[in-house]
Structure 1
Amino acid sequence: MSPRQPKNDNSRKGSSSIARRSLLERRPSGTRAQKKRFLILCEGETEERYFQGMRTRGGPVLDVINPKVDHVNVVVEAHRRRCLDDYDDGDEVWCVLDTELDRGLADRILAKAGGTIRLALSTPCFDFWLLLHREDRRAPFQTAGDVEKALKRALPGWSKGSTKFADFRDGVDDACRRARAVASEKKDHMRNPSTSVWRLVEAIRGSAGGGR
């Protein structure tokens, strides 16, 4: 018998090159391979617009999604996307949600998140986080609608559909400081009013090389 000839490995080269192309498509040079990635699931348009506006050329990758489902299912969708998408151990998955002054709802959200999904909760609602960019507020609100009215007084012309991060950028440091001060008074996600959105915002800003 003649000695076995080595197989032509063109097929292997072809398949490996396709795999490499696929990997490169998923991890563009200078972005995915080098930058931290945040998956941020929001329950509303206001939150979605705010975090989309935080994207910067030199900052981390922000995947901002509004799945348009109820609070608990936002967390369910976060678990699903974390498992299916190409997220590394150093990446972070967050859900930005309102408690609606409903402790039972907040407890269900916390239980569903477990220790895997990070939560940025606001009581009564995300609009309180926006209000803190403009003023320091400690008095409780009766409803989420009352927060919206207060924000419209602080920022005339604002509406949920017109939210732009640019309108709040100059007040981010103040908002983080004020939110931390509220949180330190009573470590309870149901404190009215309160918000832990500052944790997510500071994580994003810190991942941009310490820039602001």
Structure 2
Amino acid sequence: MERKRFLILCEGETEERYFQGMRTRGGPVLEVINPKVDHLSVIVEAERRRRIDDYDETDQVWCVLDTELDSKLAERMRAKAGTMVRLALSTPCFDFWLLLHREDHRAPFQAAGEVEKTLKSVLPGWSKGSTRFADFKDGVDDACRRAKAIDSEGSDYMRNPSTSVWRLVESIRGSVGE
């Protein structure tokens, strides 16, 4: 039986490290790429790779991106993604998804740097460059539950704070043993 494939393009190193750490023997194939380009170019690259790497309708192509609290940027990303590329958006940033592994946080942030500071206060020693999935693995169920409590559909992408990363994580976890 062929394993389900996920193509995951990230805008940052933190996201890349997190999803690379989710790879498991016998689990779905996770191809995690950080093309080191701007938000919209990440989506363009995802679409290009979906076509040339022969991903089919049973495979999933995702972009993990931050809204940066910019609703115009978020709208452009959603329009660019179309129907074949799925978005896992975090407001203001992916670090909020990581924070939800440790605590239920609902107060809005003024900037992405605030999220990073809050995460460091609950996880001393954490830094973007040292992100390891293993440090967050035990909190994945909590993070999914907390994120869904904030936005049960994963579509209120400009709610501050919010994240729809749970949709991707549940999809990966749900494909194990399919």
**TM-score computed with the length of structure 1 as normaliser:** 0.82
How far is 1:209 from its partner?
2.0
Question: Residue type matched to 2:175 in 1?
Answer: S
Decide which structure has the larger Cα Rg and report it: 1
RMSD: 1.4
Aligned partners of 2:19 and 2:133 also within 8 Å: yes
2:2 to 34, 53, 76: 34
Segments of structure 1 that go 5 or more residues without pairing to the other structure are: 1-32
Rounded to whole Å, the distance in 2 between the matches of 1:109 and 1:100 is 12
Rounded to whole Å, the distance in 2 between the matches of 1:90 and 1:184 is 24
- Classify 1:186/1:63 alpha carbon distance in 2 versus 1 (closer, same or farther; 3 Å): closer
Aligned partners of 2:8 and 2:30 also within 8 Å: yes
- Give the number of equivalent residue pairs: 178
Segments of structure 2 that go 5 or more residues without pairing to the other structure are: none
How far is 1:187 from its partner?
4.9
Rounded to whole Å, the distance in 1 between the matches of 2:150 and 2:46 is 28
Determine helix, strand or coil for the equivalent of 1:184.
coil
Aligned partners of 2:155 and 2:164 also within 8 Å: no
Rounded to whole Å, the distance in 1 between the matches of 2:115 and 2:6 is 28
- Classify 1:193/1:87 alpha carbon distance in 2 versus 1 (closer, same or farther; 3 Å): same
Give the corresponding residue for 2:46.
78
The reply to whether residue 106 of structure 1 matches residue 107 of structure 2 is no
Determine helix, strand or coil for the equivalent of 1:49.
helix
Greater relative contact order structure (CA < 8 Å, 6+ sep): 2
- Classify 1:191/1:89 alpha carbon distance in 2 versus 1 (closer, same or farther; 3 Å): same
Determine helix, strand or coil for the equivalent of 1:139.
coil
Determine helix, strand or coil for the equivalent of 1:181.
helix
Rounded to whole Å, the distance in 1 between the matches of 2:153 and 2:24 is 33
Matches within 5 A, 1:58-207: 58-184=26-152, 187-207=155-175
How far is 1:188 from its partner?
1.6
How far is 1:86 from its partner?
2.2
Rounded to whole Å, the distance in 2 between the matches of 1:61 and 1:128 is 25
Rounded to whole Å, the distance in 1 between the matches of 2:152 and 2:37 is 32
Question: Residue type matched to 2:57 in 1?
Answer: D
Rounded to whole Å, the distance in 2 between the matches of 1:80 and 1:142 is 34
Q: Percent identity of the aligned residues?
A: 79
Determine helix, strand or coil for the equivalent of 2:49.
helix
Rounded to whole Å, the distance in 2 between the matches of 1:78 and 1:42 is 10
